[in-house]
Amino acid sequence: MNAPARRASGGARQRLRLWLRLLRASRVIENDVRELLKAEFATTLPRFDVLAALDRHPEGLLMSELSRELEVSNGNVTGIVERLVADGLVLRTPLENDRRATRVHLSKRGRQAFTRMASAHQSWINQIMHGFSNAETLQLIGLLDKLKLKMAEARR
Amino acid sequence: MNAPARRASGGARQRLRLWLRLLRASRVIENDVRELLKAEFATTLPRFDVLAALDRHPEGLLMSELSRELEVSNGNVTGIVERLVADGLVLRTPLENDRRATRVHLSKRGRQAFTRMASAHQSWINQIMHGFSNAETLQLIGLLDKLKLKMAEARR
């Protein structure tokens, strides 16, 4: 094997190590968040993700837009929205120009519930990552932004 | 709000930003891997995770050990193992001192199948992260190791 090929193969091994660490870190945190959401709010991560997406769009979203927004999340969006509507946290309003289509958005109660969850969520993450300094946090954010950019470029 | 409290709150916001970026990066890659496993090996991520855990333990694992090994992974371990046994990729052998308990391990065919998948998996990750330099990869690994350590400390 020539030198460039050896280098490439070393790089591949390091990238695999990086991926396994990324995956593990995010699974560890995600499991904590899942358990805390269940214990403190009797809710699930996919429900929280849907509420968060709707909170980012106070004007409401078409179901297709919501699915796109949650593209990289798990769960059956339609079923989750139906249960959130039944629970009074999400409202459907018909579109003006197409009465058969609907836009979904948070109800007042949904917004209040999400605000409480989001605040708890932020403080859980702060506790979970407590001891990781602000400087390290910013450095890690910077590297993940660069990784995201490079991954987007590699897809083109 | 006094100055230390403002700083703490800024730290909490940064840690939340970090968490959202970690989650997004790992979901993007995980979705790619899920699709590639399906397209190229007609298999799933939880199956791949079980095969990988068994590959790391050639001596075999008790089901309880396998579950612990996959602690932060998803999926119904028992059901997955049953299908892998039915497919001839995993074998169960009774324990010598307790014939009712069994140890699971890869069959020869399972090991060969996993070796092919693992090699493809490494090259997918290498392509997905292509353009992210070796230096950046090592730096990111270092920061994730530090984060892991700090998170473990915060749990104590």
Is pLDDT at B92 greater than 70 in this prediction? yes
Pick the more confident residue, A77 or B101. A77
Residue A59 lies in a domain: yes
Asked whether residue A49 is domain-assigned, the answer is yes
Residues 83-142 of A with CB under 8 A from B: 121-123, 125-132, 134, 136-141
Would an 8 Å CB–CB cutoff place B40 in contact with chain A? Answer: no
pLDDT at A138 over 90: yes
The verdict on a CB contact (< 8 Å) between A125 and B11 is no
Task: Classify strands B102-106 and B90-94 as parallel, antiparallel or unpaired.
Answer: antiparallel
- ipTM topping 0.85: yes
> What residue numbers bound the domain in which B90 lies?
24-155
Residue A7 has pLDDT above 50, yes or no: no
In a domain, B4, yes or no: no
CA atoms within 13 A on the CB side of A147: 30
Q: Is residue A13 part of a domain?
A: no
Q: Is residue A15 part of a domain?
A: no
pLDDT exceeds cutoff 50 at B7: no
pLDDT band for position B72 (50/70/90)? low
Please tell me the predicted confidence (pLDDT) of residue B3: 45
- Strands B90-94 and A90-94, by their bridges, are unpaired
Which of the four pLDDT bands, split at 50, 70 and 90, describes residue A72?
low
Whether residue A12 is contained in a domain is answered as no
Residue B1 inside a domain? The answer is no
Higher pLDDT, residue B42 or B8: B42
Domain count for chain B = 1
Q: Kindly report the three-state secondary structure assignment for every residue of chain A.
A: CCHHHHHHHHHHHHHHHHHHHHHHHHHHHHHHHHHHHHHHHCCCHHHHHHHHHHHCCCCCEEHHHHHHHCCCCCCCHHHHHHHHHHCCCEEEEECCCCCCCEEEEECHHHHHHHHHHHHHHHHHHHHHCCCCCHHHHHHHHHHHHHHHHHHHHHHC
Instruction: Report the CATH number at residue A129.
Output: 1.10.10.10
A128 → chain B, closest CA residue: B151
Average pLDDT over residues B29-46: 95
| A102 located within any domain | yes
Interchain pair B140, A145: CB under 8 A: no
Q: How many CB atoms lie within 10 A of CB A117?
A: 20
**Interface contact flag, A129 B136, Cβ < 8 Å:** no
- Residue A29 with chain B: CB contacts under 8 Å: 19, 22-23, 151
> Is the pLDDT assigned to residue A109 strictly greater than 90?
yes
In what helix (H) or strand (E) does residue B122 lie, and over which residues does it extend? helix B108-128
